[in-house]
Amino acid sequence: MSHSTQEQHAGSAIALGYTSLDEEIVLDHLPVSGNIPTWLEGSLLRNGPAKFEVGEQRYRHWFDGFSMLHRFTFQQGQVAYANRFLRSDSYVESMRKQRLTGSAFGTTDPCKAIFRKTQSALINANVSVDQMVGEFVAMTEAPVPVRFDPHTLDTLGVVEYDDRLTGHHGCAHPHHDGTRQVLSFMTEFGPQSEFKVFAIGNQAPPQRRLVGSYAVDIYSYIHSFSISEHYIIIAEYPYQMKPLDLLQSGKPFIENFHWYPEHGTRFVVMDKQDGHVVRTFQAESFFSFHHINAFERDGDIFVDLAAYPDATIIRGLYLDQLRGELHAIELPHPSEFRRYHLPLSSEATTAGYERITNMSIELPTINYRRYNAHDYGVAYGISTDKQNPAVIANQLVRVDIRNRSALTWAEENCYPGEPVFVEAPNAQAEDDGVVLSVVLDGQKCNSFLLVLHAQTFQEIGRAEVPHHIPFGFHGLFFPGIE
């Protein structure tokens, strides 16, 4: 196959990853090759956009596609599969009217809808899944999760909080801090906007308790954050907008943001217990979607992120770019595995960084249950082969942080999604277990679930799905869901 033919084939395969999947199915058994460990019992639940057009209209940005939930269930070495659209009010209304309804991240709906008192009709929770107060939820950056049944994937309605806490833009990546509470944040826009960190206890009905807050005059786009043993760490990037501009511009939400490199990036360190801002640190300008982990050592804080030099990645994720529909495609910079040092034990006010590996990393994950907020040794993610920069992610990477080394998994014309670590019973090491990833097979035009040995990063087995699964975002493994 010639180089140009390979590029064309790769381009069509990548475009398939951003093509709608309309079929909903339930399969008791997927064809399995290799060996699925018999100790692997439970379900991998995943979320992501899977429908990008309704009638004659179509979404412009990858982040806007209608949410689809996927369930891979493991039992006695076999794998079952089901998928189902999240029946948000936005999805149901769009299907009924055969046109796009509600607000969106990067499509041409005015974002005045953000300021409505009730946002339930707007929630297309297509980013992540989680479990809180005994319920399974799908989440996006709207501050109201959507409940679903993990067995049937039926939509059960939005979470009704029993409190008076308010906000307009939230977080799809809450943290579980080991005390049976969930930590998250949201911003309330107004003449004096306010960034709020809150905790959700384990009692029903769910209640949000304000941990701490601070005023913001110009708002940074923030997708995730970190926690350490004693602190909450927020990184404010210079991708910013004035909140009241949202009411006047008539632009989609994200197109109100602009890059101000002269502002630099600010780290805000908040005390977990009483919510006061302990310190702020200034760093050179960079952008990030995903924190990897944070921990404390000798009185200082270390924050690991998948970092970009600027925010061009957001422009690179419009669907016409991703599908290769443009003559000139602007390739975003690859993300770097950076470790920022916040010198809390000194009087210094600046934060520097070091690169942990020369491999790019995105959609990063760790052994979260045991090592989140603590010093750790292994991280996993998707990565881009430097020899093939046109591809967003064509390999998985396992980073040994202490040895500064990396292992990769790759297969020709295959494009993996977020790796999820599952710990083995009676694990003796941080990486004793398996890694799960949904992979698009560009040759066969379908997807498969890949199972890797988490230490050697060698394939153990795979289970094939009869159709393609559009590139998704995040998922978690939950034991006991059959």
Binding residues for Fe cation: 173, 223, 290, 474
Token couple for 157: 């309605």
Residue 5's Cβ-count burial label (10 Å; 0-12, 13-18, 19+) is exposed
380-405: burial string, b at 16+ Cβ within 10 Å, e else: bbbbbeeeeeebbbbbbbbbbbeeee
Where is the binding site, in residues? 173, 223, 290, 474
What is the amino acid identity at position 480? G
What separation in angstroms does the CA of 207 have from each of 128, 139, 200, 239, 411? 21, 17, 6, 31, 46
**Cis ω for the linkage preceding 205 (within 30 of 0):** yes
Amino acid identity of 432? D
Q: How far apart are CA 282 and CA 264, in angstroms?
A: 7
- What is the C-alpha radius of gyration for the chain, rounded to an integer number of angstroms? 21
Cβ atoms 62, 145 nearer than 8 A: no
SS3 label, residue 254: helix
In which residue are the tokens 């950076």 written?
338
Secondary element (H or E) of residue 7: helix 3-16
Structural contact between residues 373 and 423, judged by C-beta atoms closer than 8 angstroms:
no
Tell me 413's DSSP state: T
User: Could you tell me which residues come within 8 angstroms of residue 197 by beta carbon, excluding any fewer than 6 positions away?
Assistant: 183, 184, 185, 210, 211, 212, 213, 232, 234, 270, 275
Q: Which residue has the tokens 């943001």?
A: 257
The gap from C-alpha 450 to its chain's centroid, in whole angstroms, comes to 19
